Amino acid sequence: MEPHRSLESLARELAALPCSLGPVRLIGIDGHAGSGKSTFAGRLAEALGGAPVLHLDDVASHEELFGWEERLRAQVLEPLAAGRPARWTPYDWVERRFGPERVLEHAPVLLLEGVGAGRRALRPHLARLLWMETPRARSWARGRNRDGHALSDFWDGWERAERAHFSSDPSRPFADTLVRQSSTGYEWSSGAGATAGTSPSITDGDGLPRA
């Protein structure tokens, strides 16, 4: 399938999808840590006219890098499914505690960004799953370089945790859309042909929050 290069056209496609969580179209943006998910989510949110973005980094914690499923369900998924605002408490990675409650009103499109956004427990609630097609080694190297030597121990633990997560609960094989960053912006491919015939190991070649 030929890649597309207009975020506006992707935004129109997402906005036209059926609702998947009450009155909301929940769009998952998954990929390896350091793959550029947060930056892409921000730009896609702009193309959607200011759609809200929920970062899974704010739902996870040092003790629960991937064990945040129940917290997300209770604080975000169930209220939005019922047409109520979500009330959630973002995690402070410096203070190592959950902060004051925030309110997330339901919107036509909500972007859920972070490693694990396409996990099996979330997929039934997603209108679309996007995967950032940046190889794992490149993503992790970018993340380590961004965060510096002071967080090298964190990254050592993160890489082990991410490997274990995607080994038991992979997202990419279930992605509806693959997103690649190019020198001029982003390219994306959607539909059955997007992942067909492509081995999941493409993400294995040549990982802290806000990845």
Write the DSSP string, 56-68: GGGT--SS-SS--
For every one of its 211 residues, what pLDDT tens digit does the chain have, with 9 covering 90 and above?
A: 456 677 999 999 999 999 999 999 999 999 999 899 999 999 999 999 999 999 999 999 999 999 999 999 999 999 999 999 999 999 998 899 999 999 999 899 999 999 999 999 999 999 999 999 988 888 888 878 887 887 788 888 889 999 999 999 999 999 999 999 887 788 888 765 455 434 332 233 333 334 4
Give me the pLDDT at residue 141, please: 83
What is residue 4's predicted lDDT score, i.e. its pLDDT? 64
pLDDT at residue 200, as a whole number: 34
pTM of the model: 0.87
The per-residue pLDDT for 194 is 55
Cβ atoms of 203 and 195 within 8 Å: the answer is no
Q: Using the 8-state DSSP alphabet, how is residue 36 labeled?
A: S
- Structure-token pair, residue 201: 């190991």
DSSP string covering 71-134? HHIIIIIHHHHTTPPEEE--EETTTTEE-S-EEE---SEEEEESTTTT-TTTGGG-SEEEEE--
Token code pair at residue 5: 């290069």
Q: What does the alpha-carbon distance between residue 199 and residue 197 come to, in Å, rounded to a whole number?
A: 6
CB 48 within 8 A of CB 127: no
3-state secondary structure of 147: helix
b/e map 26-46, b = 16+ CB within 10 Å: bbbbbbbbbbbbbebbeebbe
Return the pLDDT at 22.
95
**How many residues does this entry show for the chain?**
211
- CB count within 10 Å of CB 97 equals 11
Q: What is the β-pairing status of strands 97-98 and 91-92?
A: antiparallel
Kindly list the distances between the CA atom of residue 189 and the CA atoms of 61, 109, 135, 153, in Å, as whole numbers in the listed order: 32, 20, 17, 36
Q: Report the b/e string of 113-151 with b at 16+ CB within 10 A.
A: bbbbbbbeebeebbbbbbbbbbbbeebbebbbeebeeee
In this structure, the number of other CB atoms found within 10 A of the CB of residue 9 comes to 12
pLDDT at residue number 191:
66
Rg of the chain over Cα atoms, rounded to whole angstroms, equals: 16
